Amino acid sequence: MSAYIIRRLWQMLPTMLGVVLLVFFIFNWVGGDPAYVLAGKISNQEQIDNIRRQLGVDQPYWVQLGIFLKQIVTADFGASWSTNERVSHILLTRLGPSLTVLVPLTILATLISIGLALAVAYVRGSFTDRMVMIVCTVGLSISILVYIIVFQYVFAYKLGWFPVQGWGDSFIQNLFVYASLPILIGLVVSIAPNLRLYRTFFLDEINQDYVRTARAKGVSENRIMWIHVLRNASIPIITFLMAELPGLLLGSFLIERFFSIPGIGREVILAVERSDFPVIKAITVYVAFATIATNLLADLTYKAVDPRVQLK
């Protein structure tokens, strides 16, 4: 196990280097000169040259690449161009609110989707199965913007069950007051696609030979579904979850924007609007690293769930 982990960590280096080179290329050749962005429309050449010198973009490209690599290794991407706040502090303070929403949302959505998918697979081909699939299809056809607007109007404005917007300093208050409605919306949006996908995984396992053998031996249908089918279908479910985790931080920008949650997703939108390159570059690199790390975590989870999996 340890040899496999070390080998995988070593294999991450070329991938991360490729990501770093791609990000460097995009922001240095395609993104334009940051000095003109910071100088504004009313500026002279002396101001632009001074800004270029301060940012280090007047150096040769190989020197700039070295500076970028040093920033990644030291986790110090400098200060935000818009607020002059340290990028590291921005990420640390924005990560907590995002996780406050996304961790409970991911856990609840996964458990509910798995339970419903198993129940639907249990009555596969029935009227209930067809109706659930129709409801899921309708749910998938509705934009998340519609859910946000309707839920804010009905549950927050009309009924007053939740605050429309806001965020505080208390974790308990944020989780059970301000994050409750965003989590509810996230559940409604994510359960439909997850349920359809997980149901497919379960139906693939139900048709396997070991299920027919278990039935022939007199094993109850409940045990077959909740023990045998669930365990064997957990591999593709884990793959889907691990691949989805890094993108959740950025994919939540609509919810964070509408509910004024100071998270990573909202920070990305603000950074793009302000052309705040240090923040964008830092988030891009960290999301790439998180994607690679979750792939390794997925492989280790496979082994924990199914001992037959060989890590080579």
Inter-CA distances, 47 with 29, 33, 43, 275, Å:
21, 13, 6, 18
pLDDT score, position 35: 61
pLDDT score, position 84: 79
pLDDT score, position 271: 82
Measured CA angle at 171 (ends 168, 174), to 5 deg: 50
User: Would you state the structure tokens that stand for residue 74, as one six-digit string?
Assistant: 């030291």
C-beta separation of 185 from 133 below 8 A: no
Closest CA to 21 of 285, 295, 289, 286: 285
pLDDT score, position 33: 59
The CATH code of the domain at 90-274 is 1.10.3720.10
User: What's the number of CA atoms in the CB half-sphere (13 Å) around residue 138?
Assistant: 6
Dist. CA 115–CA 206, nearest whole Å: 16
Q: How far is CA 222 from the centre of its chain?
A: 33
pTM for this predicted structure: 0.78
User: Would you state the structure tokens that stand for residue 183, as one six-digit string?
Assistant: 């989590």
User: Would you state the structure tokens that stand for residue 180, as one six-digit string?
Assistant: 């409750």
Inter-CA distances, 13 with 34, 292, 293, Å:
28, 10, 12
User: Would you state the structure tokens that stand for residue 35, as one six-digit string?
Assistant: 């000095």
Largest CA distance in the chain: 85
Give the residue range(s) of CATH 1.10.3720.10 domains in the chain: 90-274
Please measure the distance between the N-terminal and C-terminal CA atoms of the chain and give it in whole angstroms: 9
Nearest-Å Rg of the Cα atoms of the chain is 24
Dist. CA 33–CA 38, nearest whole Å: 9
Dist. CA 116–CA 194, nearest whole Å: 10
pLDDT score, position 112: 92
Which amino acid type is present at position 5? I
Which amino acid type is present at position 155? F
C-beta separation of 92 from 167 below 8 A: no
Closest CA to 184 of 167, 170, 163, 200: 163
Dist. CA 270–CA 157, nearest whole Å: 26
Read off φ and ψ for residue 169, nearest 5 degrees: -95, -15
User: Would you state the structure tokens that stand for residue 89, as one six-digit string?
Assistant: 């502090």
C-beta separation of 250 from 171 below 8 A: no
Positions in the chain short of pLDDT 70: 1, 29-49, 51-59, 247, 249-251, 306-312
Which amino acid type is present at position 68? F
